[in-house]
Structure 1
Amino acid sequence: MVDTTPVPLRRLLLVDPCDECASLNTHLPAAGWKIQSVKLDQSSLPDSDLGMLRLHPEHLDDLNKVKALINRTGIQWVVAVPPSMLQLPVASRFIAEWFLDYHTLPFDTSRIHIALGRACGMAHLRRRHLHPATTREEFVFGDSEQARALQKLIARVANTDAPVLVRGESGSGKELIARSLHAQSLRRGAPFVAVNCGAIPDQLIQSELFGHEKGAFTGAHQRKIGRIEAADGGTLFLDEIGDLPLELQANLLRFLQEKQIERVGGHQTLTVDVRVLAATHVDLEAAIADGRFREDLYYRLNVLEVRTTPLRQRREDIIPMARHFAQLYMAEIGRRPRNFSAGAIQALLQHDWPGNARELANRVRRGMALADGREIEAADLGLAVSSTAATGTESLETSLLRAEGEALRAAISHNPGNMSKVAAQLGISRPTLYRLLRKHQIRRRAQK
């Protein structure tokens, strides 16, 4: 009996083809491939399942252009190369770093469709693993119960014009929350101006906030528009408000009350329409008691309050956030995306994160730069698996329980809202899955 099952169509993007590539157009369509040929500098690229670059000597003179193409498409790539180019160190390093596979020219037409089929399957697996279907906001804030509560609170207060005080530990994403409040507000089309009150010298901060006129003081050679005026119509974010000097606190309070400012050295009163968001990691109530912060300014700023949760208290967000940062820094570092090894994931989950999301971002950036293999290892992140786990002194029961919980969280992260897929990935039934969720006190997500 003849098998009439249709061959699934797979799309191959062929970049800068050569004479040897003509054989692909003859043999691959019968194996279910659609070939689309383009030039490297072509601005518009068709959707594809797999990319193939015919590496030419001139490509080696501008590898950044090839890297930009790979990053722009977001797909996995293989390379076609003459054997002589593999002897060049710059070419071999580039191929090992950026490509899923390579094929020497001329093509072995009897095997190429099998090799490309394997590469396409691997590309689909990597795309699922490296780019789980999660929105950017979920990546940024995570998907734990605390993170979802924070997202809902931000959505509720974003459309008001009332001041918001964002409180939390250093590095816990306070500016990110402020930017999200602005992005979801009616002022999102207007400027967002951020000021770190603790990073500006005391003698300059009044000029930075309120601006100055020409000749107002030595060195004032021309008029300067202050940060408050620059934010007119939009949002002003005052980070580390607890570090603002007392004399400037009085000026800021007057602005919040009257919505008017005067530039330093000027006499004209300017009306400015801004929404003020402030953030601090210090105990403002203690600062008020010590006389370091004005109580009346505190109540002006703290109309609405948003508190961040330390990263160590929402560990199920760590891995999704790490993967987000890896994608974010991929283009900056100029390397293809890497996944985290099992040891790196264990080290990430065991670390206490005193620097919160900022520390996580910095460690991922370091790992992206230092990783030599296909995966980012714990050592690349500057982390080590705990001595308990390393020496094997942890009891077998404890180790299995922890591994079981981590497997559950990872599967849920890869299949958000779909318990059937979570159970299938883990190889268990749905009743068993629900029993394990109760056992580990993991909240089941709503079906999407």
Structure 2
Amino acid sequence: MMCKSKKQIPKLLFSGEAILKAMPEFAYVFNKQDELLMWSENLEAVLGYSADELYKKNVYDFMEESTRDINIEAIGKVFSDKEEQSLEQNILTKSGERIPVIDTANYALINGEEYMVGMAIDISNYLRKEIESRHGFEEIIGKCESLMHSLYRVEQVAETDTTVLLEGETGTGKELFARAIHKLSKRKNKTYVKVNCASLPATLIESELFGHEKGAFTGAIHKQIGRFELADGGTIFLDEIAELPIELQSKLLRVIQEGEFERLGSSKTIKVNIRIIAATNQNLEEQISKNLFRKDLYYRLNVYPISISPLRDRIADIPLLAQHFVEIFNRTMGKGIKRISKKTVQQLQKYSWPGNIRELENIIERAVIISNGSSLSVEPILKPGFEDDEKLLPLAEYERKYIIKILEKTYWRVDGPEGAARILDMHPETLRSRMRKLEIKRPSF
């Protein structure tokens, strides 16, 4: 239990300190002047405040403006009627995220001084389990408000055949959302086909998507079924849709509008019944202004957009994700790490994560490898400046810096088992394409 000054608070309040400190709930003590006097340590990690910052807070700093009047009334009753008050509401973190809680406060009179002693129980896991029990989002880890909103939008659209556009930075888990939509749809027992539009060579992408007949071009020694045909009856996920060559975008538009196309080298029209999910880490409206993306195709894809938040906007989820990856690597590496220290969590939460969840996974994997004992430490693998706040940098600069960092670690090797493409979970051609666009060049030595 943390406090302002033990001299300010009667000793009786400290009799249960060890118990309160160990509780998973958020415990707190306010005086009649609404000043926060004591709190459980987990409150710091969850709300994102340091102890020094919490010292300056009053009870209303953690409440939404819309619930302020209800809370004033409830707190008044605690002190005037000496009755327990309980509210289901959101508490606000430092970053502005809302955490749903059941907040219960009681009156305490100690040595003639009046206090409000309360406990807030985080119910976001309960709400999430409710959604999971109905729909199953087990692979998507987190409980922050923005994630829950995205999952709610998945829930709304999954059972329809509506085209979905997933928007989010590299490494935010767009494919997991695509798989979740397919899993929850009426097509769940049909084929799910993933296509990374950036990883296919420009000379072969049309053939890969639409198929070809024998002899359609040099090297076409046999007939090939395209990805759209393979996905007939099911779902096709078009990742990095902004990388689709503009000359092929009209053919994709026809598939969306008419559900038909022809293989290369054939005049026979093939009909397909597919659900299309597309994803991008780029601003498609900006691509349209540069004549790199068709406006009519954008309107067809953008019927139901779902935005996926970057990790820097999901600070409360970082401990959950880190623990999830620790458990995975414990199993694969035979390790026995049981906890992540408070200091480590704070370090991870201060970083801006340009590579998002994928970068966090890589950091945790390396930390598990070098950690001895039962506690995870990231100290040995964090360089000076790891915790710098870079939130004002443009997205492209985030991505550029992260790719350069990985390339430096691999001595600028792109391909191979120890190359940057594998670490970034990208096809080598995709990485080279991003390097060209971001003007990343190997330095001359």
Alignment TM-score, normalising by the size of structure 2: 0.54
Q: Give the structure 2 partner of residue 93 of structure 1.
A: none
Q: Give the structure 2 partner of residue 229 of structure 1.
A: 229
The reply on whether 1:149 has 2:143 as its aligned counterpart is no
Q: Output one character per residue of 1:123-163: Cα deviation in whole Å (capped at 9) or x when no partner.
A: xxxxxxxxx99768367241011111111111001111010
Q: Give the structure 2 partner of residue 444 of structure 1.
A: none
Conservation of the 8 A alpha-carbon contact between 2:213 and 2:263: yes
- Mapping of residues 318-329 of structure 1, within 5 Å: 318-329=318-329
- Mapping of residues 46-445 of structure 1, within 5 Å: 137=137, 140-379=140-379, 382=382
Conservation of the 8 A alpha-carbon contact between 2:235 and 2:277: yes
Q: Give the structure 2 partner of residue 119 of structure 1.
A: none
Alignment TM-score, normalising by the size of structure 1: 0.54
Conservation of the 8 A alpha-carbon contact between 2:210 and 2:262: yes
Conservation of the 8 A alpha-carbon contact between 1:174 and 1:279: yes
Q: Output one character per residue of 1:367-390: Cα deviation in whole Å (capped at 9) or x when no partner.
A: 2223233222013554679789xx
- Using a 3 Å threshold, how does the CA distance of structure 1 residues 334 and 210 change in structure 2: closer, same or farther? farther
| Amino acid aligned to 1:229 | E
Conservation of the 8 A alpha-carbon contact between 2:214 and 2:222: yes
Conservation of the 8 A alpha-carbon contact between 1:214 and 1:220: yes
Which of the two has greater strand per residue? 2
Query: Which segments of 5 or more consecutive residues in structure 2 lack a partner in the other structure?
Result: 1-125, 389-445
Structure 1 residues 339-348 or 176-185, which shifts more?
339-348
Structure 2 CA distance, aligned partners of 1:162 and 1:368?
Answer: 42
| Amino acid aligned to 2:319 | I
Q: Output one character per residue of 1:30-84: Cα deviation in whole Å (capped at 9) or x when no partner.
A: xxxxxxxxxxxxxxxxxxxxxxxxxxxxxxxxxxxxxxxxxxxxxxxxxxxxxxx
Conservation of the 8 A alpha-carbon contact between 1:340 and 1:375: yes
Shift of 1:337: 4.9
- Give the SS at the match of 2:137: helix
| Amino acid aligned to 1:294 | R
Structure with greater Cα Rg: 1
Structure 1 residues 340-349 or 373-382, which shifts more?
373-382
| Amino acid aligned to 1:355 | G
Conservation of the 8 A alpha-carbon contact between 1:139 and 1:324: no
| Amino acid aligned to 1:297 | L
Structure 2 CA distance, aligned partners of 1:369 and 1:262?
Answer: 51
- Using a 3 Å threshold, how does the CA distance of structure 1 residues 246 and 386 change in structure 2: closer, same or farther? closer
Conservation of the 8 A alpha-carbon contact between 1:326 and 1:364: yes
How many residue pairs match? The answer is 258
| Amino acid aligned to 2:189 | G
| Amino acid aligned to 1:371 | S
Structure 2 CA distance, aligned partners of 1:323 and 1:387?
Answer: 20
- Give the SS at the match of 2:199: coil
Structure 1 CA distance, aligned partners of 2:174 and 2:367?
Answer: 24
Conservation of the 8 A alpha-carbon contact between 1:343 and 1:385: no
Structure 1 residues 275-284 or 359-368, which shifts more?
359-368
- Using a 3 Å threshold, how does the CA distance of structure 1 residues 332 and 268 change in structure 2: closer, same or farther? farther
Structure 1 CA distance, aligned partners of 2:227 and 2:380?
Answer: 40
Structure 2 CA distance, aligned partners of 1:183 and 1:328?
Answer: 23
Structure 2 CA distance, aligned partners of 1:378 and 1:384?
Answer: 12
Conservation of the 8 A alpha-carbon contact between 1:238 and 1:278: yes
| Amino acid aligned to 1:298 | Y
Structure 1 residues 229-238 or 216-225, which shifts more?
216-225
- Give the SS at the match of 1:159: coil
- Give the SS at the match of 1:137: coil
| Amino acid aligned to 1:164 | V
Structure 2 CA distance, aligned partners of 1:219 and 1:380?
Answer: 51
Conservation of the 8 A alpha-carbon contact between 1:339 and 1:374: yes
- Give the SS at the match of 1:276: strand
Conservation of the 8 A alpha-carbon contact between 1:253 and 1:300: yes
Q: Output one character per residue of 1:179-212: Cα deviation in whole Å (capped at 9) or x when no partner.
A: 1111111111111111111111111110111112
- Using a 3 Å threshold, how does the CA distance of structure 1 residues 274 and 329 change in structure 2: closer, same or farther? farther
Conservation of the 8 A alpha-carbon contact between 2:246 and 2:293: yes
- Using a 3 Å threshold, how does the CA distance of structure 1 residues 329 and 183 change in structure 2: closer, same or farther? farther
Shift of 1:230: 1.2
Conservation of the 8 A alpha-carbon contact between 2:167 and 2:281: yes
Structure 1 residues 231-240 or 367-376, which shifts more?
367-376
Shift of 1:284: 0.8
Structure 1 residues 150-159 or 140-149, which shifts more?
140-149
| Amino acid aligned to 2:278 | A
- Using a 3 Å threshold, how does the CA distance of structure 1 residues 293 and 369 change in structure 2: closer, same or farther? same
- Give the SS at the match of 2:204: helix
Conservation of the 8 A alpha-carbon contact between 2:311 and 2:356: yes
Conservation of the 8 A alpha-carbon contact between 2:158 and 2:181: yes
Q: Output one character per residue of 1:4-24: Cα deviation in whole Å (capped at 9) or x when no partner.
A: xxxxxxxxxxxxxxxxxxxxx
Identity %: 43
Q: Give the structure 2 partner of residue 445 of structure 1.
A: none
Shift of 1:366: 2.1
- Using a 3 Å threshold, how does the CA distance of structure 1 residues 384 and 145 change in structure 2: closer, same or farther? farther
Shift of 1:310: 1.3
Conservation of the 8 A alpha-carbon contact between 2:352 and 2:387: no
| Amino acid aligned to 1:236 | I
Q: Give the structure 2 partner of residue 62 of structure 1.
A: none
Shift of 1:243: 0.9
